[in-house]
Structure 1
Amino acid sequence: MRILPILSLALSCVSATILENGQPRLDPYPGQARLLKSGLDDAWKTFEPDAEEISYKGRWDEQHISWWSAPGVKFAFTGQKLALSFGEHTVNGVLVAYRLGGQDWQFANVTANDAYQFVGPWTTGVNLTEATAPKTFELRVTNWAYGYLAGVSVAHNASIHKIDPFPKMVEVIGDSLSSGDFATYEGLSSWAYLFAAGLGNVEYHLTAYPGVCLHDQNCWGNPRGQSYQWYRTSDTSPRAAEIYGEDPPKWDFEAQQPADLVVINLGTNDNNIANNVSAADYYNDYIELVGNIHEIWPEAQIVLMSLWGGFSASGITYAQGPLFVEEIRDVYEYFQAQGDFVHYFDTTGILQHNDIAPQWHPTDVGHVKAAAHFMQWVKIKFGWEMEATGPMVHSGTLYWNDQDIY
């Protein structure tokens, strides 16, 4: 769903205020990497962005520019300091999240053509292992306005190491509801990220972007729909149009770890009267998308997630208005005769009126509820275990009340 012009939100960064129940969060950006104003000297050893030790998470193009929701990098390093450099296509001030091992997420605003030190003697946990022992570093973009990685630097006598991927892969295909639009930390507050990261033993690609439709038409400023764009490396942002024009590169599915689970949450924008996609076009495009996914990943389980819609006044209470209910059920029924690889997850009743924020998107709590219910459903349905039993997943949720009298 999309209410505001897409361009203004696609370029959101540190100038935005992180709110907590309508009040500014006291410590909205813990961490803040240190800008290396003098650049990198001989005390650093630098690895190019195409170093085989660096694992790219999500969709990145050949220039090492990232796209879609919550893309990132992950690797191990030795020593006690680490810096990353960012190239010219970085959106100035974009907010990234980073962490050492399973420590809490920290945040930093980065700018094009600059280098930042993310780890140093001040970093929590850096002294918990020997300097020569590899430590895991992970960086994720909080939204969909990043730019390319130009290099990774460590101490002159240190090194970086590749981390083996998790055995399973999750692909989420969605719009703003899956990419965390209007949530506190956008992609890192979305149900899609919370679900995948919460499982703890899976890789994930969150191929979601605000305002996009399933049907291939202009929706809220997005020139193409997911029935076209999902097969491309880049998203539908103005930045992508500036770099690639009208011919973005195709995504090389064969070069990637195949998906074990594909989750589709699309149609909220199609259903909006501003875009006015017909039920027939939506249904036919959905059938084609699922069929193509099955051809690309014949072993993947495909989950059609129902659209929760919004809530409207009903007497002295509120009533939920789910969208394209019959159409999504019909897509599910269509594939039942072809084998047991398409499933239906009904979101009705998971979210309540106060789980939807003023901009018609889930609150942080709403995203947590959707993710938690879906995690349990996947565990029961497919036998997947939840193995994230320690590392931080959702940042900014350490709220408590230490008053016993009030």
Structure 2
Amino acid sequence: MRFFSTLSLLASLAAATILENGQVRKVNFLDTKVASIGSNSTGWKTYGPNATEISYKGRWDSKHISWWAAPGIKFGFTGDQVAISFGQYTSPGVLVAYRLSGQDWQFTNVTANSTHQFVSRSTPGLNATLPSQLPLSFELRVTNWAYGVQLSAVHIASSANLIKIPNHSKTIEFIGDSLTSGMYATYEAFSSFGYNIGAGFGNVEFSVTAYPGICLHDANCWGNPRGQTYQWHQTSDTSWRASQIYGESPEKWDFRKHPAADIVLINLGTNDNNTANSVSNTDYLNSYMKFVADVHEVYPKAQIILMSLWNGFYATGNLRAERSLQRRDLGGILQHNDIAPQWHPTDVGHIKIASHVMQYIRIKFGWEFGATGPEVQHETLYWNDESGY
């Protein structure tokens, strides 16, 4: 989709107003900031960012800085306290989602050189009467695609322990642009169909290597200096903050140190197809063929799903979303109100796409759903308690 470079740093401000059906959505992000916690602070035990008990989700570099869309961490712990310190490369006011042992997600804003306490004895769902050694799980995700955090330290109660949570046996990677990364969705990457597919299965590892405005072909598109044929091999994305930290020499992503993807879903080409970016049909086709070969070289056993280009709505019909390798026609899935005014899916549009892709993967590749509850997106707990009108 068209990406306005002037909005790249403004459209995703953590304090931005969220609209829902044209009305302002009331949000109450918790204030979790606390005083700094040193390694010798009373009542706390501190782990460095390289602790083996911490599982990093998505792409993080050697400085423990997060990149791309909806990256996160997960670990188990005992005790009744969790706090995290964030380093100097954390984006100002970035909105993160966090949860305790698979419960509802909570949201808070964090910033550079700060410490935030996410779990305490008053945290809902944490029963202080339970044995102190009962292990719980903690997850944190960056909701954005342009911002990120730098993990500096994890703190838990002094008598507690951090616990490694084993990865799931299956892995899926999403490679895309603004559509996959959730641009203009209410919680951006955290509302995207990429995130919703991965999280919806509940029993897979996933990463969303997507960034708004990026082309498949290695060209400057909407302010992105390189295309995915190059950038997918790098740890960082094409954001302004990446250029400030690494310039033109980003860290290579070492695929060998991470689980190979079993399924790769690619949704690229909308920006190549825009006349403003001057990518020819020949360059696009050649780059796509090379890119699929590159993915197969990195992941020899992976199944690849290609999602074709998107169209808008017109008076004569519906948006068509086609997937191939087998060019399965999914016309009619998305309706008019599933596309927002900025030509990107609404939250419900992302959920629809995710639902159908999940069913396709289940039928085609035999992946069964492992979520413990009904398929529902975060922040969609709405109800009516009126008996009549």
Write the distance in 2 (CA, Å) between the matches of 1:127 and 1:20. 34
**After superposition, what is the alpha-carbon deviation per residue over 1:152-201, rounded to whole angstroms, capped at 9, x for unaligned?**
00111111011000000001000010011110111110001111110111
Mapping of residues 284-299 of structure 1, within 5 Å: 284-299=286-301
Q: Indicate which of 164, 170, 173 corresponds to 1:168.
A: 170
Partner amino acid, structure 2, of 1:193? Y
Alignment correspondent of 2:319 = 320
- 3-state secondary structure, aligned to 1:281: helix
**Taking structure 1 as reference, are residues 48 and 391 closer, same or farther at Cα in structure 2, changes over 3 Å only?**
farther
Preserved CA contact (<8 Å) 2:2 2:274: no
SS at match of 1:84: strand
TM-score by length of 2: 0.94
Are 2:140 and 1:142 aligned?
Answer: no
Change in CA separation of 1:6 and 1:287 when aligned onto 2, cut-off 3 Å: farther
The worse-fitting range, judged by mean Cα deviation, of 120-129 and 107-116 is: 120-129
Partner of 1:35: 33
In structure 2, C-alpha distance between the alignment counterparts of 1:56 and 1:70, rounded to whole Å: 11
Q: What is the aligned counterpart of 2:346 among 335, 345, 363?
A: 363
Tell me the alpha carbon deviations over residues 321-341 of structure 1, each in whole angstroms, 9 at most, x when there is no partner. Answer: 77xx8xx96xx4xxxxxxxxx
Matched to 1:112, the amino acid is: A
Structure 1 residues 25, 146: closer, same or farther in 2, change over 3 A? same
- The CA distance in 2 between the partners of 1:68 and 1:393, in whole Å, is 24
Question: Matched residues, percent identical?
Answer: 58
State how far apart, in whole Å, the 1-side matches of 2:269 and 2:348 are.
22
Task: Kindly state the Cα deviation for residue 25 of structure 1 after the two structures are TM-superposed.
Answer: 1.2
Which residue number in structure 2 is paired with residue 104 of structure 1? 104
* Correspondence list, 1:116-265, <5 A: 116-127=116-127, 129-144=130-145, 145-265=147-267
Cα separation, 2, equivalents of 1:64 and 1:393: 31
SS at match of 2:69: strand
Query: What is the CA distance between 1:246 and its match in structure 2?
Result: 0.9
| 1:28 to partner: Cα distance | 4.9
Amino acid corresponding to residue 354 of structure 1 in structure 2: N
The change in CA–CA distance for 1:169 and 1:321 in structure 2 (over 3 A counts) is closer
- Does the CA contact (< 8 Å) of 2:86 and 2:149 recur in 1? yes
Give yes or no for contact 1:6–1:210 (8 Å, CA) kept in 2.
Answer: no
d(CA) in 2 for partners of 1:392, 1:51: 33
User: Are the aligned partners of 1:33 and 1:118 in contact in 2 as well (CA < 8 Å)?
Assistant: no
Alpha carbons of 1:38 and 1:257: their partners in 2 closer, same or farther (altered >3 Å)? closer
Alignment of 1:302-341 (within 5 A): 302-314=304-316, 318-320=317-319, 332=325
Aligned mates of 1:296, 1:87 — CA distance in 2:
32
CA shift, 1:67, in A, is: 0.4
In structure 2, relative to structure 1, the CA distance for the partners of 1:347 and 1:229 (3 Å cut) is farther
**Structure 2 SS opposite 1:58:** strand
| Count of matched residue pairs | 385
Letter of the structure 1 residue corresponding to residue 292 of structure 2: V
Conserved in 2, the CA contact under 8 Å of 1:80 and 1:119? yes
Distance verdict in 2 for CA 1:345–1:84, change over 3 Å: farther
Residue 82 of structure 2 aligns with which residue? 82
Q: Verify the 8 A CA contact 2:47 2:153 in the aligned structure 1.
A: yes
Answer yes or no: is the 8 Å Cα contact 2:320–2:332 preserved in 1: no
CA-to-partner distance for each residue in 1:192-223, whole Å, 9 max, x for gaps?
11111101110001100111110111111110
Please give the secondary structure, in 2, of the residue aligned with 1:182: coil
Aligned equivalents of 1:9, 1:65: Cα separation in 2? 18
CA-CA distance at 1:312 after TM superposition: 2.3
Please name the residue that 1:340 is paired with: none
Structure 2: state its 5+ residue gaps. none
User: Retained in 1: the 8 A contact 2:36–2:115?
Assistant: no
Letter in 2 for 1:349: G
Contact between 2:320 and 2:331, CA under 8 Å: does it hold in 1?
no
Q: Which residue of the partner structure matches residue 335 of structure 1?
A: none
Unaligned segments of structure 1, at least 5 residues: 333-342
The match for 2:378 is 395
Contact 1:102–1:390, Cα closer than 8 Å, also in 2? no
CA-based RMSD of the aligned residues comes to 1.9
Structure 1 344/44 Cα, relative in aligned 2: closer, same or farther at 3 Å?
Answer: farther
C-alpha contact 1:303 1:344 (8 A) present in aligned 2: no
